[in-house]
Amino acid sequence: MRAPLTVKGAQRLRAELEELKSVKRPAVIAAIAEARAHGDLKENAEYHAAREQQGFIEGRIKQLEAELSHAQVIDIAALNAGSRVVFGATVELADADSGEEKKYQIVGDLEADIKQGLIAISSPVARALIGKHEGDVITIDAPAGQREYEIVGVRYEG
């Protein structure tokens, strides 16, 4: 199965890939060459750190290329799911007890970032939301116990 990705998420990952290839990869190659010029490589901490960094960069490049080549990019603006929660939805939730509101967008696993309110389609919260409608109440198993939330809004914005 192809992993879903939003258009915005795919653009962000392509930008990261381009940055790694055109800026960070050449910089680490230059750092390795400079460290190599300092002589004995066995006790050269700069050389070993640069090689480790190179390994990380190359690994991330391979991961991004593979993920982007196998991803199914979905244009959220073209979805017409109404008040039903599907991939790409921005969902506003109100805590049934406190009334505190939270807003999340359901995105692909690769682009998830809880600090930005982007939750992975595979996360427990997203799985509880998929298929539900505005006005539904859902129960989520949180570390502090079960919490109930009402879905107060569902939007699809590209």
pLDDT in tens, 44-85: 888 999 999 999 999 999 999 999 999 999 988 887 778 899
Residue 107 has pLDDT above 80, yes or no: yes
Confidence band of 144 (pLDDT split at 50, 70, 90): confident
Dist CA 118 CA 127 (whole Å): 14
Q: Going from the N-terminus, what domains does the chain have, and what CATH number goes with each? A: 4-74 (1.10.287.180), 76-155 (3.10.50.30)
* DSSP 3-state of 140: strand
Residue for token digits 């939270």? 102
Residue 21 to residue 28: CA distance in whole angstroms: 11
CB atoms within 10 A of CB 28: 21
Residue 145: other Cβ atoms inside 10 A: 6
Q: What is the DSSP letter of 3?
A: P
- Can you give the pLDDT at residue 158? 63
Let me know: does 136 contact 149? Beta carbons within 8 Å: no
